[in-house]
Structure 1
Amino acid sequence: MGNKQEELEKCVRLQGYDLTGITETWWDSSCDWSVGMEGYRLFRKDRQGRRGGGIALYVNNQLECLELHLGVDEEPTESLWVRIKGRAGAGDIIAGVCYRPPDQGDRADEALCRQIGAASRSQALVLMGDFNHPDICWRDKAAERKQSREFLECVDDNLLLQVIEEPMRRGAMLDLILTKRRAW
């Protein structure tokens, strides 16, 4: 994020976003003084032990929320989960942000899918992030690599819908927003 914090704050305020997820923050403890945003609660998970990575989720202060700790006894993943209290009569919403490094191993992928499964038990789920599966064709729900096919299966098994329609980087949809589909 570095020098983009001011630009981020202007965009969030102009658009009136209640949730803003960020992947690859590259933050560490030296950034603590500069990453807060007035009117928002910040949840973050910095990458430990190597450069890069890191995720953050800003939630509007007007929303009652708390961080969930899914999969804490498993292989570590760069994922962050928050439960947002629903309005009267509506269920809670689970919001997540994830960064899946391109070189992530099978065990971490399996742990992430279990976390997605646990989060998807909620009536409403919004998961955003950089999943780094460039070989997935979302229109055909097909992929070349085994890891990508397993991710597609996880999305399908948990009744999730991928809502991004335009590729972001070099024709590939790496950055996704997944939401809970209604089971009719």
Structure 2
Amino acid sequence: MDSHEKIYELDSIIDESLFELNINSNYYAEDQLNSGLTNNDSLSIIHINSRSLVSKMSTIKDYLGKFKSKFKVIAITETWLYDERMTEVQIEGYELHFVNRINKRGGGVALYINNDLKCKLDKKMTMMEDNVMEMVTVEIINDTSKNIIISCVYRAPGSCIRSFTDKINEFVDHIKNKTLFMCGDFNINLEHPVALRTSSDFFDMIYSLGLVPLINKPTRITTQSATIIDNIFTNRKEDVVKTGILMTDISDHLPIFVVSKYHNNNKNIIKHNCINYKRNKSVKALEDLNKDLKMQNWTEVYVSDVNNAYTSFMKILLKSFNSSCKLIKITGKRDNQPWMTNGIKNACAKKNSLYMRFLKLQTKEAEDRYKKYKNK
């Protein structure tokens, strides 16, 4: 392939005759989306593939903080979490629901629901199946119209698509008289669904359930490929106000979003005070941590398997850390980014500019220039 030949043109779209989408998702920078993102009459959902939520937590919070209005729902795939670390990934003003893998590393899904929304966990549509998928689902309670089901799904790459298709069909088929938004990383390329029979069967099932995909442009772009593997499916396309892909380098997947009409005249919404959290890192807390670590049994760390050794080490360390250096609530408004100087802001803007240039050019030269600046 010629070094200047693009894998994908950002202004192009897939063959809509294959899918009858009648909807076009565009690429946005955060400043382009700010106007009209959300209001009291809309429901906004963003999906982010984090590839380690703990390591990306501050990046995700900083990115979401750039929007003038908050997304009502934040869906995260590939959280790579286990239960002991959930206190580290709380977001102020949101209720967290999650499913973590148990028997192996990676995967995992989470939903952050804005506290202004009344919701409950849908246990029938919340599950994990080893080597196939993770799924977490909540039901938004709407007193004046249909309730809304929101699911976040992650399908493990290389897993059996037929088993995954059967599970989704089983879960979604029971939904009656409710609006559904099912988002996530499906690892099934929408651009070439007929290339593989099982992929074609998945999309046939999606349409048979009355669902349509809202994303029709690549969400993962490299110098070698451009694929539509992240998506949002809904049974209420007519309520969609805006949908698209966000150009940011949180991970190698681009975030996707949808803004939908939403009417709820519920008078019983509880308004929450502004609550921030910080770690107790006082001298006494650190002394307690030091004492606790000395008392731990580290036998499980001294094993031949380096992965098991690392997992055991982190489990012991984090348990002691969370016990000794507890989270402290801080009420009231404060500056969450006191360290963000004009110099840092300018550097972030240049990095983002280089990343968008790479997405448009898709050349090794543009990628190397972006990575060199990002990592220096």
Q: Aligning the two structures, in what range does the TM-score lie when normalised by the shorter sequence? A: 0.7 to 0.9
Gaps of 5+ in 2: 1-52, 239-376
1:125 paired to 2:177: no
In the alignment, structure 1 residue 171 sits paired with structure 2 residue 226? yes
Structure 1 residues 73 and 41, CA, compared in 2 at 3 Å: closer, same or farther? closer
Residue equivalent to 1:112: 168
User: Quick one: which amino acid aligns to residue 139 of structure 2?
Assistant: R
- 1:19-62 residue CA offsets vs partner (Å, 9 max, x unmatched): 01111010112322211111000000001201100000100011
Identity %: 27
1:98-120 deviations in Å (ceiling 9; x for gaps): 0011222233431122112234x
* Residues 28-43 of structure 1 aligned to structure 2 (within 5 Å): 28-43=82-97
Q: Does 1:84 align with 2:158?
A: no
2:74 maps to: 20
CA change 1:182–1:51 in 2 (3 A) is: closer
Question: 3-state DSSP class of the match of 2:226?
Answer: coil
After TM superposition, the structure 1 = structure 2 runs for residues 45-60 of structure 1, keeping only pairs within 5 Å, are 45-60=99-114
2:226 partner letter: G
Higher relative contact order (CA closer than 8 Å, sequence separation 6+): 2
Tell me the TM-score normalized by structure 2.
0.44
Question: What is the match of residue 152 of structure 1?
Answer: 203
Give me the CA root mean square deviation: 2.3
Counterparts in 2 of 1:45 and 1:75: CA distance versus 1, 3 Å: closer
Gaps of 5+ in 1: none
Which protein has the bigger helix share?
2
Tell me the TM-score normalized by structure 1. Answer: 0.86
Q: Secondary structure of the equivalent of 2:194? A: coil
Q: 2-side partners of 1:75 and 1:46: how far apart? A: 11
* Structure 1 residues 36 and 73, CA gap change in structure 2 (3 angstroms): closer
Letter of the aligned partner of 1:155 in structure 2?
A: I
